Amino acid sequence: MTAVAEPMTAVHPGGRPSKAMANPGHGDAFTDHMVTAYWTREAGWGPARLGALENLTIHPGMIGLHYAQVVFEGLKAFVQADGSIAAFRPRANAARFARSAARLAMPEVGEAMFLRAVEDVVRADADWLHDNPRHTLYLRPLLYASENNLMLRASNEYTFLMMAFLAGGFFGDAVEPVRVLVSRDFTRAVPGGTGNVKCAANYGPSLLAQRQAHEAGCAQVVWLDAAEHRYVEEMGGMNLFFVRGSGSSATLVTPQLTGTLLPGNTRSSLLTIAGLEGHAVSEERITVDQWRAECAAGTITEVFACGTAAVVTPVGAVRDRDGDFAIGDGAMGPITKKLRTALLDIQHGRRPDPDNWLHPIC
């Protein structure tokens, strides 16, 4: 069959670029609206207004650009079984956004303003979703220091934005197991640092390690702890789970939150879901040597990564300085598949919501 290239000018009947609608990828199919609010030290927060997504005009001496006083979030809205749209656990994102802001000496966006911004953008851009219910709206709240001043101090002015893009799959549409590289050259987070919050400055420095992973034929990088370089922490922008054993007696382990890992909302959701599915769950420290040995012994049968963007993605193989190894037979295992399905079913309202995770919008 010959693939016929779509003309670049093709537009969806609703005015959307049809390429984006067919395969939105992850990150550039921006929707039409954003919410903007400004904070000043004298007046606090002004009104949060919905408007068109448009370019920003910024001064070259803006604090956020120079000193990385910038935090962000990532959450999704899903089409429900009945055709309505709901956001998944936006209160958890609001709480983490506030913690991130506090860590960077920034003013917090209150939960009510955060939720309202989510609702406004989703309502305004809901029609982006209805063509393909497998697509999601990925919402990106951003808070940055917007005062123009190059003195190294906390800004006296901040801007809050809530934008969105249409998302397909993070690793493409198919759920294929990924190969990952254990980073031995770089560290993501240090005790007392910012690893447990979502600030922009955590991500720029991770990109060289990510490039090394790609050069080694891997999709992602696995981070080890900064002090001993032994304990597995997390993976790129995702948390990790290890499955020990199989069937109904399988147990799940995820690295303990030591202060240098980001406490993922997907991680916390899966801990609950796995428990509801009858699996014992624990949060432990696990070394990369233990990971390799338990895979060789067949104790660890499956490993998966999880996050808002990646949902649940199986890890099939690990590349490491001390020897590469495979996980199980390298394919997606049954526990990974079951938990991925359960999570997506809850997010799409196809299975009971265990704890008011869904926030209905329109």
Interface residue list for ligand PLP (CB under 6 A): 74, 198, 234, 237-239, 262, 264-267, 307-308
**Shortest distance, CB of residue 169 to ligand PLP, whole angstroms?**
15
- Distance between CA 362 and CA 84 in Å, rounded? 6
Instruction: Please give the C-alpha separations between residue 334 and each of 139, 148, 189, 197, in angstroms, as whole numbers.
Output: 30, 53, 32, 32
Name the residue with the smallest CB distance to ligand PLP.
264
- Decide whether 38 or 72 has the Cβ nearer to ligand PLP: 72
Q: Which residue has the tokens 């432990």?
A: 284
Length in residues, the chain: 362
- Decide whether 92 or 124 has the Cβ nearer to ligand PLP: 92
- Decide whether 177 or 264 has the Cβ nearer to ligand PLP: 264
- Decide whether 155 or 206 has the Cβ nearer to ligand PLP: 206
- Decide whether 198 or 359 has the Cβ nearer to ligand PLP: 198
**Shortest distance, CB of residue 310 to ligand PLP, whole angstroms?**
8
**Shortest distance, CB of residue 262 to ligand PLP, whole angstroms?**
4
**Shortest distance, CB of residue 74 to ligand PLP, whole angstroms?**
5
* Closest listed residue to residue 148, CA positions, set 58, 244, 238: 58
- Decide whether 61 or 205 has the Cβ nearer to ligand PLP: 205
**Shortest distance, CB of residue 229 to ligand PLP, whole angstroms?**
18
- Distance between CA 25 and CA 325 in Å, rounded? 30
**Shortest distance, CB of residue 235 to ligand PLP, whole angstroms?**
8
Residues 6+ apart with CB under 8 A from 311: 170, 266, 340, 343, 344
**Shortest distance, CB of residue 87 to ligand PLP, whole angstroms?**
13
- Distance between CA 200 and CA 197 in Å, rounded? 10
- Distance between CA 34 and CA 54 in Å, rounded? 8
Element (H, E) at 39: strand 33-40
Instruction: Please give the C-alpha separations between residue 208 and each of 182, 220, 221, 336, in angstroms, as whole numbers.
Output: 13, 11, 10, 29
CA 22 to chain centre: 22
Crossing angle (nearest 10°) for helices 111-125 and 90-103: 130
- Decide whether 107 or 307 has the Cβ nearer to ligand PLP: 307
- Decide whether 238 or 332 has the Cβ nearer to ligand PLP: 238
- Distance between CA 312 and CA 269 in Å, rounded? 11
**Shortest distance, CB of residue 264 to ligand PLP, whole angstroms?**
3
